[in-house]
Amino acid sequence: MPRIAILSDTHVPSRATAIPDWVLDVVADADHVVHAGDFDSPEAYETVQSHATDLTAVVGNVDPQSIDLPAVATLDVGGVRFVVTHGTGPKTGYRERVLGAGRDHDGDVVVSGHTHEVVDQDHDGLRLLNPGSATGARPATQTTMYEATVEDGTVDVTLRTT
């Protein structure tokens, strides 16, 4: 049963000094890692990449151009298609924007970031996951990420937090 670490909005160094060790431990133990953007620096990207066995990541609105990542990426695991996008743009229209990316790429689950708000909702058969901020970067009030398992086309998600 594949395990997926889902995180976003690390914002190192502009809003946090480092990615917490417990987050990096979850990343290192996962079969796949999904990061929905806003690493904030090449060093933060390299830290996640060095701990991940397999990384699917997208660019966020504060990521430097030197982090050459797509705006949308897909990951197929256990009969489930994950569509990953940051969700860049105004808060108004956010859900429609990220759900649109999920539908455009035939997703079962769309993973997004940007708002730093934890979300796990179903929208007409498309599951929307936002893991919040993996460093607790403002406006988040705590450090959060998801850990997911996939079996026979079913996704089980657990929120990890401090």
Q: What are phi and psi of 37, to 5 degrees?
A: 90, 170
Strand partners of residue 160: 145
- Average pLDDT of the residues in 19-27: 98
Domain count, the chain: 1
The boundaries of the domain holding residue 96 are 3-161
Q: How confident is the model at residue 162 (pLDDT cuts 50, 70, 90)?
A: confident
The verdict on pTM exceeding 0.85 is yes
Other C-beta atoms closer than 10 Å to the C-beta of 142 total 10
CATH number of residue 131's parent domain: 3.60.21.10
SS (H, E, C) 68-90: CCCCEEEEEECCEEEEEECCCCC
